[in-house]
Amino acid sequence: MSLSRKSIIFFILIALGLTACSKEISTQVPTSEPESVVPAIQLETILPTHTSDAAPISTPTSLPDENDYAVCGSEGLIDVGYYFKDNSGNISPTQLVRFQKTDDGVRDYVAVITCLKHDEGKISNPEEVEKGYENEIIFFDKNGLAHTYRIIIGGHYVAPYDPSHKDITGSINGVDTLFYEVEEWIEVTRSQFVSNGSRQIGVDIYLDDNHGALSKALTLVYSFRETNLQIAEALKTGEGYPEQVPDDFFLFATDAWLIQEE
């Protein structure tokens, strides 16, 4: 075989070897993620974490129905750590906290956070409750519509009245329970409602008992038992709030706590 022919064959073999090497390198898989891939934890941080029924994020196709939540105050709602959504997906001001019974098993209550209608309440009619705090409480149904009822908080409602016991059992920070004369409580609530721009409040509302004649006040409240229980059921479901209530009806709360930004 001539030298020139051997050279040609040699160069052909080298060319074939380089082609095979190039193909092998091009099929290797990278061992590290590209920098453009977003870690999963970054995606999770944009999801709602405060609700147990959080739905996937989507762009709304239309604006939600109007609700009555503006009557709670000019500055919007304070985050209270409890979340209930209305039919439009908005967080409702009316937050059912728990149903409870007194230690002696005599009385049933419901603890609820919602809004009062007026910045400044007034002293209750002593023919109803002696030295109680009166205002109007607003419950919102599942459509965001407001239902307003008269409420009396605290006062002297178990006979015989203890003159050394202050009128109102309440908390201004939601933690520390203190005792106030009703005039003090009117000023404390008015001041906080105005400064917060929100009239959110928590109350323990009397529903029912098996000793309804402990005082004139509780006898009167006991006469509203059926309406109380109807409102209690509405708090569970978001519907069925009574539009008509008995003459002189009022809800009665034994104590209250104000809602503040943490």
- Nearest residue to 182 via CA among 129, 139, 136, 115: 129
Report d(CA 252, CA 127) in Å as an integer: 14
Question: Per residue in 211-224, pLDDT tens?
Answer: 666 788 888 888 99
Question: Per residue in 5-16, pLDDT tens?
Answer: 545 555 544 554
On whether residue 30 sits in a domain, the answer given is no
Total domains, the chain: 1
- pTM here is 0.73
| Containing structural domain, residue 108 | 71-258
On whether residue 51 sits in a domain, the answer given is no
Q: How confident is the model at residue 50 (pLDDT cuts 50, 70, 90)?
A: very low
On whether residue 40 sits in a domain, the answer given is no
225: helix, coil or strand?
helix
On whether residue 77 sits in a domain, the answer given is yes
On whether residue 234 sits in a domain, the answer given is yes
On whether residue 217 sits in a domain, the answer given is yes
